[in-house]
Structure 1
Amino acid sequence: MASGNINHPLADDIRAFSRFGPAIASAIHTFCNALLLPLLLAILAWQMAPAYELMTLKGSVHHAIIVIVPMLFMSMLLLKTFKPDGLAEKHFGWSKSLCRGIHAGMRCFVWLVLPLKFFCESLGTFQNGAWYDSLGRLFFLATLTAISMALYLICRGVNQWRDTVLETQGLARTRAQRRQYRESLLNGGPIDVEMLSADTWKATLRRLLLLGVSLVPMILVGLSISGYHFTSMQMTKRGIWSTLLAGLIAIIAGLISRMLLVTQFRVKLRQLKRNDTGHIGEDESINISEISTQVNQLLRATAIVAMVVIGWHIWSEVSPTIRFLDSVELWDAENHKGELKTYTGSHMLMAIGTLCITWVLSRNLPGLLELTLIDRLPFDKGGRYAISFVVRYLVGLLGILLACKIVGFSWNSVQWLAGALALGLGFGLQEVFANLVSGIIILIERPIRVGDFVTINGTTGHVAQMQLRATTIRDLDMRELIIPNKKFITEDVMNWTLSDQLSRLIVKVGVAYESDTQLVQDTLLSIAKKHPLVLHRPQPVVVFGQFGDSTLNFELRVIVPKRDLFPQVQHELNMAINAEFRAKGIEVAFPQREIRVRTEAMASNPVLERKAS
């Protein structure tokens, strides 16, 4: 797309951020660099595999390499991603302090934790584990200490990043500023409310929480020394994998976020081009900021769900809470195969999670579809909203059905309850159901759409939002009126923009009887043709309406592009008519009345009344 096609001051800047190729190239380069060392170790282990038994030294080394290589690859991937001017900082737009902290922690993990972990795994199999209870346990304790150091570096980077964000927002102060303020208070200085509210208990709690996270491995050290070595070892292994997989999910989320950001810029470019060429109006363009918020919320929710699912699979075997939920029996029901199945607390927890995911998807998935798919389709704003409307409620319905299936609620088991509810709701909520059915009819027939200019029950305004039960109309005074959908089906509705946006404006003017009617007509037509918002096809028309009591009544009939422009065009035409009539000596007539005053003396003396007349 050539820059000359778009006349907008931000077009070049938007175009500069609308390319995804550099991010892909950087991601491939990062992946290859991270794969080099693990690949060499994997080749070495493959060469050693057929030659040595597990209990020998070389066999133990082979086993340790097999265990370490996956961890090393993911660690190197995180290390290369968060390096200075790396993928995370340059393309994801993440904070320098955050990337610096994660890079320092991963560097400690790669060059200190993994070598110690390698010795632990080697000693665990060498000579059937004869050295593991002594030297191997020391290496394990050293591994936990190194993990604590790596977590401390990462948490310090997170804390610095949050402090930087708060300082940018004006909600935090540096240590020197806080110390200077305390000295000022001791010397009797004034109280600064902003300084008091800057370092709140939330920041202190955050620092304590991050410090506690970095000290979790030291708790495992205490468990190992106290005799719970196997428990400590299992939790360490699962903790390492949980952390590395969480980092991998963060990288994938960053790539997807970058791709969606590029898509947003491309959509903005298409909108700018359409606006310049007249293909689409501003009222038909999608709301980029609102959709961006929905997409980011959906991406964060998806990342959290992925972490929860992975954590469930990693910790399900050792977590007593998950095992306890499996032992809580709720009810028995037939599954889809007709077999009797017992449903437990785990099924209920999964159903609740499904409903939460459904709620997030129904609110934010339409924004993702509108950004990636719907904007490319030949639909106006109302059509795009209708598709989003259907997707929102369809996702909600499917999520509810899936949750019911997880806990064993089939139609056969609840059909009597559904019948009773339908009977009760049919009498008590018949108006609500009428509005719901009307909403479905409106969605299918589309007599009104979002953005249409309508008049109903004396209310005129734009259709701002359409829900399944009611529709929101924003009138010309910027008031929002909630109108039940039933009224749009059962009552008369005037849609000014159903087939097109064109509307006719009539400007009435009265001139004196002595005026030249041809001059009046020519003047009105000249004013209309000069106005930039008056369309030339259909052409403006001047109609000599009637002979009034004291005026010759003319009507100037013009076509404007939108109904919203009525006040502006009417004002400007009236101003121009007044100026032109004054310049050409055309008198704008006004009603004339003859007033007679009759006193009591005139009523009693007809002669005086005739003289006064």
Structure 2
Amino acid sequence: EALSGIASPGMGRLVLIAFPAVVALALLLLVQQRARSGITECAALAARRSCISLLPTLRALLLTFGVAAEWPLVAVLAGCLCRFAADSVLLSQIGVGLIQFGGISLWLNCWRHAVGPDGVAVVHFGWNSSLCQMIRRWIHLVFLVVAAPLALFLAARQGGSPGDMLERILFIVLMLAMTAAFIRLCLPLNNPFMRLVSSASSLLMKSRWLWAGVPAVFPIGMAALSLLGFHYTAVQLCVRFGFTLVTLSTVLLGHELLNRWLTVSRTRTRLQQARDRAMDRDRQQDTEPPAEGTPSSIPPTQTEEVDIEVFGLQARSLLKNIALFVALGSVWGIWSDVLPALRVLDRETLWYVTETVVVDEGTDGTEVIDGSGDAVNQTLRTEVVRRPVTVGSLLLAAFTLAITIVAVRQLPGLIEVVLSSQSGLDRGARYAVITVTRYVLLLVGMTTFFSLLGLRWTQVQWLAAGLSVGLGFGLQEVFANFVSGIIILLERPVRIGDIVTIDGISGVVSRIRIRATSITDWDRREYIVPNREFVTGKLLNWTLSDTTNRVVIHVGVAYGTNTDLARGIMLEVAQSHKDVMTEPAPMATFEKFGDSALELVLRAYLPNLDNRLQTITELHTEIDRRFAEAGISIPFPQRDVHMYTATPQASARRLGNG
């Protein structure tokens, strides 16, 4: 009998489940200390001001999950043993309850470790340490007060009919325990949690005694519903409440993780800018200061640091709004099928929209050739259908419009911060991506908005056709410039920061808008050029595909000068200059015999236009100095002037006498 008991199917299932469970638990216990040390190391890395990677935060989250899964895993494994390895119905119910309790305790334990001294909340996300300490103490209280009633209720809920006496008693005890826990969280009114949630408004802080007890009232209300006979409703509302807490905490975690990613991206961009500025200073250390009033470089239109600060604020605001919209949508999805008041919004009709649809009435002998070439019998007819537009549709349309406005205004900031950390994209490419993205978001958002209001393209296409014809004649230039602006952003013949010459005006492209493009010249004046001029007219772009440019210096030397020596000096001056490129190499040529000088020309190449004017000045100055040292003179222009001192009459008589 003993051997038959050992060889029973239940004992076999017990061995198959217990052995892997014990091994997994042992491995988890072995790596606990190492995981805790890893969390501390990640905290030290993330606390550095020069941290430019999100990997420490992601690693800390993974290690936090591993540390938090210690005791919840014990509950889950015990539940699995009771559920699958025992033939008793009672043990099976207890096993299911332990599995559910393990999942809930895992969620709470993850947050308990996340708000610890070296947890991700304090170090990585920058939460207030006093608030995190209070949340940690509150989670300890929840485990102490709520854990046992919750486990017993989950086990009792698995057997018997819903709402039996034992389940109801345990549910009421659980609600009373939750009430005590929420009272400890919200009272006293001056604790860090209450100061945090009410810091946005002084009125909210002053009226906190009105709403501070709301979390504690909910469990009491559910216990009252159960006592009044609505036990199933109370349980379902509590389940939705639990899903709401888990969803909101997940949204909060995602928001904080994206904020951390944004922070490291901005840090990476700032460090890259600092390195670029240091390299610029190193290149300019040996450069003599230019004379007063002499431009030494191409003036930038705006500094990148200002852009990063402004766009960083936009990105943070966008992330906050995205988290708000996701939270509202999630809460709506959780509670919409439970609360009857929310379903009323879909029954209140505001107006009807008439649509023409094609209806298939089935076969009646009419042959139609389908795509495969076979003849089928069917009847198609059109039918006018009235579709209602309800209050729910109107609210959803308003929600969509709000999302569109927020995205169009603030998404460029997020894109700018992300793309600015990528060294392969210049500012012009980032501007093009941002502008095209804004147009696409606006188009998709407005299309969805009007679709929710019942306006389909088939209903307004006649109006669009008429408007396109009328506007095509009346606003032809405006539409031409708009289309040209789209072409500029896609084809990119000019980009933000390019140096261009158009209609005799040279400057830096500072802004590309729907109708026109702004060019800032060297006097800091903005030259507004319609976009179509860049598409249909002639344009000189100095920096389109290559920023390399050539400087040409003309020098005249006196007749009798050794031209080989003069050209050698000019080449030495060019080759010794730090901004002159070695490939293509500079070249000095003897061009022609002038009226009063031998004309020599120096051609040298520069990598960019940043120091073009200053380089030309330095080359002229050095050539003049070296020529003076070598005794080579640069002659003045010579002219022969014939002077006649006599009057015209005397000259004529003298010629006649001769």
TM-score, structure 2 length as denominator?
A: 0.66
Hey, what does 2:498 align to over in structure 1?
452
2:249 pairs, out of 234, 240, 247, with 247
Look up the match of 2:336. 316
Cα separation, 2, equivalents of 1:104 and 1:453: 61
Give the deviation of 1:138 after TM superposition.
Answer: 7.2
User: Of 364, 388, 403, which residue of structure 2 is paired with 1:357?
Assistant: 403
Please state if 1:143 is matched with 2:178: yes
Deviations 1:443-465 (Å, cap 9, x if unpaired)? 44432233321112333222234
Residue 535 (structure 1) shift:
1.9
Tell me which residue corresponds to 1:507.
553
CA distance in 2, matches of 1:114, 1:483: 71
**CA gap 1:478/1:217 in 2 versus in 1, 3 angstroms:** same
Determine which of 82, 85, 88 is the counterpart of 2:118: 85
Q: Aligned partners of 2:197 and 2:454: how far apart in 1?
A: 45
Match of 1:483 among 529, 542, 548: 529
Answer yes or no: is 1:328 the counterpart of 2:330. no
Encode CA deviations 1:417-440: one digit per residue, 9 max, x unaligned. Answer: 222332332233222211121123
Aligned to 1:471: 517
CA RMSD of the aligned region, Å? 5.2
Can you list the C-alpha shifts for 1:208-229, whole angstroms capped at 9, x where unaligned?
Answer: 4766653323555886899998
Q: Which runs of 5+ in 2 are unaligned?
A: 1-46, 284-299, 360-384, 651-658
Distance (whole Å) between structure 2 residues aligned to residue 258 and residue 127 of structure 1: 46
Q: Secondary structure at the match of 1:473?
A: strand
**Distance across 2 between alignment mates of 1:131 and 1:145:** 21
**Shift of residue 487 of structure 1?**
1.7
Alignment partner of 1:214 out of 197, 212, 227: 212
Find the aligned partners of 2:582 and 2:488 in 1 and give their Cα distance: 35
Other-structure match for 1:306? 326
Q: 1:503 to 1:122 in 2, by over 3 A?
A: closer
Question: Hey, what's the Cα distance between the residues in 1 that align with 2:112 and 2:93?
Answer: 27
Q: Is the contact made by 1:123 and 1:129 (CA closer than 8 Å) also made in structure 2?
A: no
1:556 and 2:602 equivalent? yes
**Secondary structure at the residue paired with 1:533?**
coil
User: Which of 29, 43, 50 is equivalent to 2:63?
Assistant: 29
What are the equivalent positions in structure 2 for 1:284-303 lying under 5 Å apart? 296-303=316-323
Instruction: Output the TM-score relative to the length of structure 1.
Output: 0.70
- The match for 1:108 among 138, 141, 156 is 141
- Give the superposition deviation at 1:147: 1.0
In the superposition, relative to structure 1, how do residues 21 and 566 fare at CA in structure 2: closer, same or farther (>3 Å)? closer
| Aligned ranges 1:91-490 → 2 under 5 Å | 91-113=124-146, 115=148, 140-141=175-176, 143-151=178-186, 156-157=191-192, 204-205=202-203, 207-208=205-206, 214-218=212-216, 220=218, 238-258=240-260, 296-317=316-337, 322-333=342-353, 334=355, 340-362=386-408, 382-383=428-429, 385-490=431-536
Q: 1:22 to 1:534 in 2, by over 3 A?
A: closer
Check conservation: 1:97, 1:160, Cα contact below 8 A.
Answer: no
Amino acid of the residue matched to residue 64 of structure 2? T
Q: Tell me, in whole angstroms, the C-alpha distance in 2 between the residues paired with 1:289 and 1:102.
A: 33
State percent identity of aligned pairs.
Answer: 32
Superimposed CA distance per residue, residues 551-588 of structure 1 (whole angstroms, 9 cap, x where no aligned partner):
76654332211123221212222332343344344455
Q: Quick one: distance in 2 between partners of 1:152 and 1:571?
A: 75
Conserved? CA contact 2:268–2:421, under 8 Å: no
Amino acid at match of 2:63: H
CA spacing shift, 1:361–1:522, aligned 2, 3 Å: same
Aligned-partner Cα distance in 1 for 2:357–2:254: 36
Greater helix fraction, Structure 1 or Structure 2: 1
In structure 2, the CA distance between the partners of 1:208 and 1:582, relative to structure 1 (3 Å rule), is: farther
CA shift for structure 1 position 500:
1.4
* Distance in 2, Cα, partners of 1:572 & 1:209: 72
On the 8 A contact 1:120/1:140 being kept in 2, the answer is no
After superposition, what is the alpha-carbon deviation per residue over 1:81-131, rounded to whole angstroms, capped at 9, x for unaligned?
Answer: 111101323444444344334323333333335556667878999995558
Aligned partners of 1:158 and 1:516: how far apart in 2? 88
Change (3 A) 1:74 1:227: closer
Tell me which amino acid in the other structure corresponds to 2:51. Answer: F
Q: How far apart, CA to CA, are the structure 2 residues paired with 1:250 and 1:317? A: 24
Cross-structure match for 1:575:
621
Cα distance in 2, alignment partners of residues 591 and 153 from structure 1: 95
Describe the SS at the equivalent of 2:550.
strand
Does the aligned pair in 1 maintain the 2:419–2:430 contact within 8 Å? Answer: no
Please say if residues 496 and 512 of structure 2, whose CA atoms lie closer than 8 Å, have aligned partners that are also in contact.
yes
Query: Equivalents in 2 of 1:73, 1:467: separation in Å?
Result: 52
Sort the Cα spacing of 1:29 and 1:212 in 2 relative to 1 into closer, same or farther, 3 A.
Answer: farther
Alpha-carbon separation, structure 2, partners of 1:335 and 1:237: 44
CA contact (8 A) 1:15 1:266 kept: no
**1:349–1:480 distance in 2 versus 1, CA, 3 Å:** farther
CA apart distance, 1:488: 0.9
What SS does structure 2 have at the residue aligned with 1:471?
A: strand
One-letter amino acid of the structure 1 residue matched with residue 397 of structure 2? A
Distance 1:226 1:309 in 2: 29
Deviates more, 1:357-366 or 1:484-493: 357-366
Are residue 76 (structure 1) and residue 79 (structure 2) matched? no
| 1:9 aligned residue | none
Question: Contact (CA 8 Å) 2:557, 2:635: kept in 1 or not?
Answer: yes
Per-residue CA deviation, residues 127-170 of structure 1 (Å, 9 max, x unaligned), is: 9555899997576355324213224589844577799xxxxxxx
Shifted more, 265-274 versus 247-256: the winner is: 265-274
Counterpart of 1:85, as a letter, is: D
Superposition deviation, residue 403 in structure 1: 3.2
Query: Cα deviation per residue 1:324-381 (whole Å; 9 max; x = unaligned)?
Result: 4323313333498876432212122222323333444456667767887998897766
Give the distance between the partners of 1:113 and 1:381, measured in 2 at CA: 56
Matched residue of 1:563: which SS?
Answer: coil
One-letter identity of the residue aligned with 2:61: A
Q: 1:529 to 1:300 in 2, by over 3 A?
A: same
Determine helix, strand or coil for the equivalent of 1:447: coil
My pick for the range that moved more, 129-138 or 401-410, is 129-138
Q: C-alpha distance in 2, partners of 1:115/1:313? A: 31
Post-superposition Cα deviations, 1:522-567, rounded to whole Å, max 9, x if no partner, equal 3333222211111233333445667778776654332211123221
Larger of the two Rg values belongs to structure: 2
Query: What is aligned with 1:5?
Result: none
- Of 548, 552, 566, the match for 2:612: 566
Q: Is the 8 A contact 2:64 2:114 kept in 1?
A: yes
Q: Give the secondary-structure state (helix, strand or coil) at the position aligned to 2:545.
A: coil
| 2-structure distance, mates of 1:127, 1:447 | 71
Inter-partner Cα distance in structure 1 for 2:48 and 2:67:
31
* Partner AA of 1:26 in structure 2: A
1:17 paired to 2:19: no
Provide the secondary structure at the position in 2 that maps to 1:507.
Answer: strand
Q: Which amino acid aligns with 1:30?
A: T
- The one-letter code matched in structure 1 to 2:185 is A
